[in-house]
Amino acid sequence: MKNYDNQNKVLLAVDCIIFGFDKKNLKILLIKRDFEPEKGKWSLMGGFLKNDENLDTAATRVLNHLTGLDDIYMEQLRSYSALDRDPVERTVSVSYYALINIEGHDTLNENFSAKWFNIDEKPDLIFDHNLMVKNAMSRLRYRASTKPIGFELLPEKFTMKQLQTLYEAILGENLDKRNFINKINGLDILIKTDEKDMNSSRKGSFFYTFDAEKYQLKVSDGFAFKL
């Protein structure tokens, strides 16, 4: 047998839910369609799987094409295969989410009309993209409580307040400042620098950095991140 004859092939796409954080709000990157159908509506950035790449590669390519960024945290979510999900042609799509530290990396490919939206001000999207975003949010919430992926969204140096604000945005609830700090400090994976952010207050607040090496060491000693 040389190949699987007479089986239906299908168009396979990837769609990226791109999350970012600007020190205050959790954001999502969307593009405005400038072609039919649904011209003028907002959508996720996507692309078709090519014969010479796997899905992770395709998702990375699509993200890179829009943002120019490499080495971004991405994770496959799930497949969407409703028969009529794309009115143009039957297409199955696999969603991925990406976490971007917006700081400095806000230069987007001009060929797309892309825009960052606050997650709670997201416009209505085409096809089943609203559902994809909803599912991505729920995965993000889960992941953020079991892996320190939150740090992917922050600049190298961040304040406790920024970290807490980010987690509040992800979890969608307010957290008690003292309990939050106690818990984070208990994890023992942050380094307190001697620099201060003087923008937010007169007193200034210390910058921290995430200690990836220490984190990895702890993980290999059986430590499991749990926020």
Q: Is position 205 an interface residue for DNA (rule: CB under 7 A)?
A: yes
Q: Which residue lies nearer to a copy of itself by CB, 98 or 189? A: 98
Q: CA 173 to CA 168: how far, in whole Å?
A: 5
CB neighbours (10 Å) of residue 187? 15
Considering only CA atoms, which of 96, 88, 166, 98 is closest in space to residue 132? 96
**Smallest distance from the beta carbon of 15 to a copy of itself, in angstroms?**
13
CB 74 within 8 A of CB 63: yes
Nearest residue to 183 via CA among 205, 203, 167? 167
- 170 makes contact with DNA (CB under 7 A): no
For residues 90 and 12, give the distance between their C-alpha atoms in angstroms, rounded to a whole number: 9
Identity of the residue, 50 or 177, whose beta carbon is nearer to DNA in the bound complex = 177
Q: With binding defined as CB under 7 A, does residue 226 bind DNA?
A: yes
222 binds DNA (CB under 7 A): no
**What is the rounded CA–CA span in Å between residue 182 and residue 224?**
17
Nearest approach, Cβ of residue 68 and DNA (Å)? 32
Site for a copy of itself in 36-95 (CB under 8 A): 36-37, 48-56, 76, 78-79, 81-83, 88-92, 94
Three-state DSSP class for residue 131: helix
Which partner, DNA, a copy of itself, none, binds residue 200 by CB below 5 to 8 Å per kind?
DNA
CB atoms within 10 A of CB 162: 22
Distance of CA 218 to the CA centre of its chain: 25
**135 or 164: CB nearest DNA:** 164
- Return the one option of DNA, a copy of itself, none that residue 9 interacts with (CB less than 5 to 8 A, by type): a copy of itself
Binding to DNA in span 145-164, by CB under 7 A: 159-161
Site string for DNA, 184-203 (x = CB under 7 A): ------------x-x-xxxx
Q: Which residues is 93 bridged to in the sheet?
A: 13, 80
Q: Which residue number, 32 or 157, has a Cβ lying nearer to a copy of itself?
A: 32
Smallest Cα–Cα separation from 45: which of 103, 105, 106, 126? 126
Stretch that binds a copy of itself, among 6-14, 150-158, 159-167, 171-179 (CB under 8 A): 6-14
**Residue 219 in the binding site for DNA (CB under 7 A):** no
CA 119 – CA 124 distance, rounded (Å):
12
Q: Which residues bind DNA (CB under 7 A)?
A: 159-161, 176-179, 181-183, 196, 198, 200-206, 226
